[in-house]
Amino acid sequence: MMPSGCNRHFRSRRDYFIALRHAAAYGMPTIIHFAAVKPDLDIQSLAKTTKFVEFVAPASVSEAHRDVWQRLHRVHTGHETVYASPAFFEMLKATQPAETVLLAVGHSPVPHTASAVAVLRMREQLLDPHGLAGYALRRKMRMWALSGSEPLLAPENATADALAGFLRGLGGAPYGFDALELQSVEVGSPCWKAVTETGEVRDSFFVYMPNGIRACHLTPLPDTQDAYLAQFPRKKRYNLSRQLKQIAENLGGPAQVVPLDTQAAIDQLSEAVRLIDANTNVLLSKAEYAALARQGLLLNFVVQAGGQPIAVILGIPSGSTYRINKVIYAQRLAPYSPGTSTLHLMNEWFIADGRFKLLDFGFGEPGRAYSSSNTTVARARVLLLRRTLRNRLLLMAHRAILACEKVARKSIARIRRQSDHKPAPGPKP
């Protein structure tokens, strides 16, 4: 029987008992507010608890939650902090189903004291969409993704142990999920140490990195154009100038960067993607772009010459960093190196604008040669999977597939080397 007074905080009896089961399994009391706002949190009854996590539906986020959230977000320095911001949460709230978005608030034993915040977003996706695993393991998993890849904690409290305790508490999230997803964790950060070095997380989850540790490219932006160009050798500067001149001569005008940061520019972005023959699936919905614009987070770019779009840059501002999610350009212009020219013009635009000090390209290798203006940092997609038999078997299958792919690649490379060194047949007698 559901205790008296609890039904007003849950959508159903089933949700209530799921929450209790998760809390018991992970050794943490869990308070969940779904249907009603309850600004005055009843923490006194949990005074003996070391930690607990409250899961708050979008409609139930109070001013007290927002005050703590804003304070923690202002001092957070993570590379994806924009995705954990109240502004981005408002975009999710306006465009996503209510049951797929939650605010998780970690509390200390001191009454009314919140110590950590995380934005959770429910997604259904494959364990690994790449290679053979993407074909063989087709069952989608229900994951609560941490928007921003890590919780928000005050710098003085952001220790590996504190993060591990909070991540363990997130295991009590509702709606029956398979894993927590940390999309991009920087190697060596407190969050990395929490998931790889603490027993608290490993005792609660299978910690798995489907794609291993990967390099992410960053471009620090100098203060002036002269300092930016001075990074390149003379031949590189000459080639950039020649490519831009060729684009201007063949397309009827010089290439220029056009920022798209208002709702009125959303249709222009869609049209530019269509004209350069790119897949429009890379775009968000118009509703999502409109919501980002209302929160001051919309900033994409079209590079055009002679009135024709030659490239589109999709990204989002995050403090003094601009996060680039996708760069697409017209393949028909490949002889003029539109990718290299686009990135060069972008860098010049950002330097002239003055708001940004770093470009973050995220995972993946650039299509052009490694630039002397770039640096790299190691990051990984980390999954915290529930310790279930199904998840254990899934991980075993994925590891076996990766091992087979590795053996196949080595065999193909060996055959190619032998073929390259095979002597040419001599003349027939």
DSSP 8-state class, residue 58: G
Residue-wise pLDDT for 157-209, tens only, equals 888 998 999 999 999 898 889 999 999 999 999 999 999 999 989 999 999 99
Residue 246, pLDDT score:
86
In contact, 143 and 177? CB cutoff 8 Å? yes
Buried b (16+ CB within 10 A) or exposed e, 112-136: eebbbbbbbbbeeeebbeeeebeee
Over residues 220-243, mean pLDDT: 88
**Given pLDDT bands bounded at 50, 70 and 90, which one contains residue 113?**
low
DSSP 8-state class, residue 11: S
Over residues 255-274, mean pLDDT: 92
Query: Does the pLDDT at position 105 exceed 60?
Result: yes
Q: Decide: residue 354, CB within 10 A, 0-12 exposed, 13-18 middle, 19+ buried.
A: exposed
Query: Does the pLDDT at position 48 exceed 50?
Result: no
Which residues are CB-neighbours of 393 under 8 A, at least 6 positions away? none
Residue 57, pLDDT score:
92
- Supply the mean pLDDT for the chain: 82
Residue 424, pLDDT score:
56
Over residues 25-35, mean pLDDT: 39
**Given pLDDT bands bounded at 50, 70 and 90, which one contains residue 401?**
very high
Residue 324, pLDDT score:
93
Residue 4, pLDDT score:
34
Percent of the chain residues past pLDDT 70, beyond the cut? 82
Query: Does the pLDDT at position 119 exceed 80?
Result: yes
Q: Among 104-113, 152-161, 269-278, which is the least confidently predicted range?
A: 104-113
Question: What radius of gyration do the chain's Cα atoms show?
Answer: 25
Over residues 218-242, mean pLDDT: 89
Which residues are CB-neighbours of 325 under 8 A, at least 6 positions away? 314, 315, 316, 362
Q: Among 123-127, 312-316, 336-340, which is the least confidently predicted range?
A: 336-340
Over residues 82-94, mean pLDDT: 95
Higher pLDDT, 406 or 428: 406
Separation of alpha carbons 317 and 296, rounded Å: 9
Residue 367, pLDDT score:
54
Residue 331, Ramachandran bin (φ over 0: left; ψ between -120 and 50: alpha; else beta) = alpha
Q: How many CB atoms lie within 10 A of CB 296?
A: 10
Residue 46, pLDDT score:
28
Q: Is the pTM of this model over 0.85?
A: no
Query: Does the pLDDT at position 240 exceed 90?
Result: no
Residue-wise pLDDT for 311-324, tens only, equals 999 999 998 999 99
Residue 323, pLDDT score:
95
**Please, which residues bridge with residue 301 across strands?**
259, 313
Separation of alpha carbons 219 and 362, rounded Å: 11
Phi, psi of 400 (to 5 degrees): -65, -40
Residue 11, pLDDT score:
44
Over residues 328-333, mean pLDDT: 82
Residue 190, pLDDT score:
93
Residue 30, pLDDT score:
41
Residue 306, pLDDT score:
87
**Please, which residues bridge with residue 185 across strands?**
380
Separation of alpha carbons 148 and 366, rounded Å: 23
**Given pLDDT bands bounded at 50, 70 and 90, which one contains residue 230?**
confident
* Residue listed under structure tokens 């690649």: 409
Query: Does the pLDDT at position 24 exceed 80?
Result: no
Over residues 397-424, mean pLDDT: 84
Over residues 4-15, mean pLDDT: 41
Phi, psi of 70 (to 5 degrees): -60, -40
Query: Does the pLDDT at position 25 exceed 60?
Result: no
Residue-wise pLDDT for 211-228, tens only, equals 999 999 999 999 998 898
Query: Does the pLDDT at position 121 exceed 70?
Result: yes
- In 3D space, the residue among 87, 79, 102 whose CA is nearest the CA of residue 148 turns out to be 79
Q: Decide: residue 298, CB within 10 A, 0-12 exposed, 13-18 middle, 19+ buried.
A: buried
